[in-house]
Amino acid sequence: MKTLILGNVYGSQQSTGGFYENYPGFPDGIQGIELSERMLEQAQKFGAEYQAEVAEKAVHLGDIFRVKTENWEYECKSLILVTGASHRKLGVPGETEFTTRGVSYCVHCDGALFRKKNVAVIGYGNGAARAVLYLSNICNRVHLITSRDKLVAEAVYLQRIKDLSNFVATFGAEVTAIKGDETVGSVEFLVANTPRSVKVDGVFVEMGMKPNTELAQSLGLELTQGGFIRVNRLNQETSMPGVFAAGDVTGGRMQVATAVGSGASAAISALQYLVK
């Protein structure tokens, strides 16, 4: 089949996720960017074409789908949506203003900019735990600010965090603002309605992910209550014949191994759809 891959592989979670230690076949781990480049190289070796363009809209026209990008329009007989997920924002004053000036959503991309400085990680779960562990190796002090009453994450992360000497945590905190001058200077928050503030040079937001469903919505696909693309888990079919979806945009266990598995299943289903 003639296959076109649209999107920017370097902008994916997979590429920006840092070092992957749990993807099968790499016992010593692998950097996300290298994994993405290898996957792309393998797909291209078998004839897939790649265009680093963002698909802005997709429409269903009889037997075909038309996909519009910023530069071009493509037509195809079947579509596989693997648009992943994006970082959830905090939604407080200062967050947007200081993005790229101290506020970041990617420790592996920006952590090194805060060498020997003080940083805050705002969020919860495995994302926050991993961010704390990564930054504690680089920064002077890492302050976790979380709305939860404890950090819930994989046991191995919690064990490693317990041994850190440059880590502090504030639980039950509601962040109200990120302040600064040219760059980030502090985080303001409430604990039991008492205003508090911590001086930091950088803020890493780890509030989880939201699925990128704009294309799915432009096609009118059914979504789940959580906002993910609804699929039949047996074959990755969406609510529209000829359109399949896989990976994080469909929810479930959001991992590279599961994204690859569901992607393979979607590709086989698309093939069967096209040859029937």
What is the b/e burial string over 53-64, where b = at least 16 CB atoms within 10 angstroms of the residue's CB? bebeebebeeee
Residue indicated by tokens 């039949």:
232
| 106 flagged as catalytic | yes
Residue tagged active-site, from 110, 163, 181, 248:
110
256 lines the binding site for ligand FAD (CB under 6 A): yes
Figure out which of the listed residues 254, 266, 267, 270 binds ligand FAD, where binding follows CB under 6 A.
254
**Cα–Cα distance, 77 to 73 (Å, whole number):** 14
13 lines the binding site for ligand FAD (CB under 6 A): yes
**Cα–Cα distance, 84 to 86 (Å, whole number):** 7
Residue tagged active-site, from 109, 139, 149, 181:
109
> What's the min distance (Å) between Cβ of 8 and ligand FAD?
5
> What's the min distance (Å) between Cβ of 86 and ligand FAD?
8
> What's the min distance (Å) between Cβ of 197 and ligand FAD?
27
| 110 flagged as catalytic | yes
Residues near 150 by beta carbon (within 8 Å), at least 6 away in sequence: 171
Residues near 149 by beta carbon (within 8 Å), at least 6 away in sequence: 171, 172
Contact letters (x/-) for ligand FAD, 14-43, by CB under 6 A? x--xx-x-xx--------------------
Residue tagged active-site, from 28, 76, 106, 139:
106
Interacting residues with ligand FAD between 61 and 120 (CB under 6 A): 82-85
> What's the min distance (Å) between Cβ of 176 and ligand FAD?
25
**Mind telling me the catalytic residues?**
106, 109-110
Which positions touch ligand FAD (CB under 6 A)? 6-9, 11-14, 17-18, 20, 22-23, 54-55, 82-85, 212, 215, 247-249, 254-257, 259
